[in-house]
Amino acid sequence: MKSEMAEAHERKVKRILSRDWSELRDWWIDHVPNISPSGSPPSDALAELTSLEARLKAITKNQVEEVAEDLPGVRAGLLHESLFLLHKSAHVLGSSLVHVEAGMCTWSISNAYQSAFFGIKAVMGFLGVCVLEVENRHFLVDVWGAPHKPRKNLKPPIIVLANTRRNEQRHVWAYFQRTLEQTINHESAWSTQVQSTLVQPEFTDFGRQRNALHYQTSEWPLADLHQCVANPEFARRVTLLDDSRPDWTVLIAFLVVNIARGLLADLARSSRILAEELEVVDAWLGQPFNERFHQATSA
């Protein structure tokens, strides 16, 4: 039998309902924030926006509020946070690959995991979903949501605010997988094959390599602890991808960053501000140390 905690987790994951990227792409254009200079962080945290914070504080444990009206600044705030998370994800991916090029492939796993974690939050945000914490309480927010049950006076898109149990990193991976699975017309940003690669693992698998490295004293999977060791084949191919490969976490980060960049590229076609954000991302990803990223994702 499933534990009460497991059942509660399943319920909150299922709050993420179907969405159409071709619709979201158009909806976002009315909520593009002013960003100057390009690549700048948001001035206000999403959870601290007056229009949202009061709503969240009023939601009791395990309850959900479905909001028909547009909460001022919330959608633009989520888009801006998602953009900045992509910048962070791309930067940390580069730091991982600097370690790889220097022959320190083992520690590249740690940086790659953090890159991927920033990246999945960026992807979720571009698709309208985020997790927030307010006064030690945790929430799942969907700014392009739909009513859980059909209601005549409530038509999508709405803003869904769900008070959840504690959201740990592994739960965010589960939200990411669910969001990918529930999104249609996504082919301009990611392929069905890539989606299958990312939704097939258990949500607890993604942190396994990094956690072993961080928390198991004797764990150091490659022979580069006392000397740098060049590894020309490390993080070169995303085919036959499974978590027994020492470069698995790095390749997962490649896929996640590439999806987030693809979503931004779609949005950038209709917005000068977002096109300038894409230029900043691409300038960083174009650095020589990111060559393995391009080789692996273009194959």
pTM beyond 0.85: the answer is: yes
Answer yes or no: are the C-beta atoms of 33 and 42 closer than 8 Å. yes
The band of 2, judged by pLDDT with boundaries at 50, 70 and 90, is very low
Contacts of 281 (CB under 8 A, 6+ apart): 86, 87, 90, 261, 264
Residue 8: is its pLDDT beyond 90? no
- Please name the helix (run of DSSP H) or strand (run of DSSP E) that holds residue 117, with its range, or none: helix 105-126
Torsion angle of alpha carbons 71, 29, 268, 131, nearest 10°? 20
Provide DSSP, 250-282.
Answer: HHHHHHHHHHHHHHHHHHHTT-HHHHHHHHHHH
pLDDT tens per residue across span 92-114: 999 999 999 999 999 999 999 99
Residue 251: is its pLDDT beyond 90? yes
Residue 4: is its pLDDT beyond 60? no
User: Residues of 145-179 as b/e, b for ≥16 C-beta within 10 angstroms?
Assistant: bbeeeeeeeeeebbbbbbbbbebeebbbbbbbbbb
Res 183: pLDDT: 98
Residue 136 — φ and ψ, nearest 5°? 65, 15
